Amino acid sequence: MENLFVYIENEGGKVADVSLELLTKGRELASELGVKLEAVVIGDGVAGFCDELKKYGADTIWVAEDKSLAPYQTLPHAAILCGLIEREKPQICLMGATPVGRDLGPRVSSAMHSGLTADCTSLVIGPHTDVKSGKEYDKLLYQIRPAFGGNIIATIINPDCRPQMATVREGVMKKEYAAKAGEGKVVQVAWREMVKPEDFVVKIIERHIEERKINIKNAPIIVAGGYGMGSKEGFKLCFELAEVLGGEVGASRAAVDSGFCEHARQVGQTGVTVRPKLYIACGISGQIQHTAGMDGSAMVIAITNDPEAPINKIADYTIIGDVAEVIPRMIKSYKQNSK
């Protein structure tokens, strides 16, 4: 158990962002555990990923490449990953909480009898003492995720079964090159020995992909509204400000639940995690469920009528006042000074 696996997802002929985020986090965890970071790449045309994976710290890159291994055909992927896990016995196996990862992860964990924590927002290495037996464990993977609709944060551990498996939400972790590139040793997987004919019973004939109409994840400027916007009509001020600034509109869960805007714009533990250059929080109190999804923003401006609101603790600047008065003044001022 001297390695940590990260399953690399092929997204339209390139490495999915969430896989690169997991490699960045995996490099940190592997260094702390003193083990190798190993990437598992399965699919068609994936050998070209190796140079990039090395830059993110991968010590070993397991490659199973063939036209029959379509990226969204998870049955053979699961069989190959199970075969590698049985042979290499990694301590930890991570994958993205994407449609592919949410399909693949349970198949692998069920076959390995290992358990799986889905949709994690944080991963930490730490000790654990079993209260009943008094047995002590060192360097377990703390798998942290929101539970009960984001009302509590659950920390889940797997003391005895291996590998410790988790899927991780996209955007919650940083994506950056390793301080020192990994060895990047490429190992071809004898994958045909690991699959059976029944692993190919499902075939993808055709794929239709609808382009996202709302995509706030990569927006450099986000104007987010909360329950404090008062109504669906009042929430339109966020759209007006975002249009002037060339940004996108986000929302708190309370605003979405109240019908002020659609769920696709929800920021937080039960929504999207964002890291814009500028985040303007309008009428948002700043509960942990929301701030966990935006506290990586480069700059935060809060507009609230509550001087004691939790959002003020993480905001770089706070404007105390009524959003219905402050936002129109911001729009007017920006238009006057940007001519």
Number of domains in the chain: 2
The answer on 235 and 192 residing in a single domain is no
Residue 213 falls inside a structural domain:
no
Residue 25 falls inside a structural domain:
yes
Question: What pLDDT digit, counting tens, does each position of 16-45 carry?
Answer: 999 999 999 999 999 999 999 999 999 888
Rounded distance, CA 182 to CA 27, Å?
9
The answer on 246 and 157 residing in a single domain is no
Classified as helix, coil or strand, 67 is coil
Q: What is the CATH number of the domain that holds 140?
A: 3.40.50.620
Rounded distance, CA 111 to CA 255, Å?
41
Rounded distance, CA 29 to CA 43, Å?
26
The answer on 189 and 45 residing in a single domain is yes
Q: Which of 200, 232, 258 is the last residue of a domain?
A: 200
Confidence at 339, pLDDT banded by 50, 70, 90: low
Question: What pLDDT digit, counting tens, does each position of 103-147 carry?
Answer: 999 999 999 999 899 989 889 999 999 888 889 999 999 999 877
User: What average pLDDT does range 164-183 have in this prediction?
Assistant: 89
What pLDDT shows up at residue 1?
A: 62
Q: Give the residues across from 15 on adjacent strands.
A: 10
Beta strands in 197-252 (DSSP E): 221-225, 248-251
The answer on 256 and 195 residing in a single domain is no
Please tell me the pTM assigned to this model: 0.77
Evaluate whether 2 touches 36 at the Cβ level (below 8 Å).
yes
Q: Which of 200, 230, 246 is the last residue of a domain?
A: 200
The answer on 182 and 251 residing in a single domain is no
Residue 210 falls inside a structural domain:
no
Q: What is the CATH number of the domain that holds 307?
A: 3.40.50.1220
Residue 205 falls inside a structural domain:
no
Phi, psi angles (nearest 5°) of residue 115: 85, 160
What pLDDT shows up at residue 116?
A: 94
Residue 176 falls inside a structural domain:
yes
Residue 159 falls inside a structural domain:
yes
What is the CA 148 to chain-centroid distance, rounded? Answer: 19
Q: Which domain holds residue 286?
A: 221-337
Question: What pLDDT digit, counting tens, does each position of 215-226 carry?
Answer: 788 899 999 999
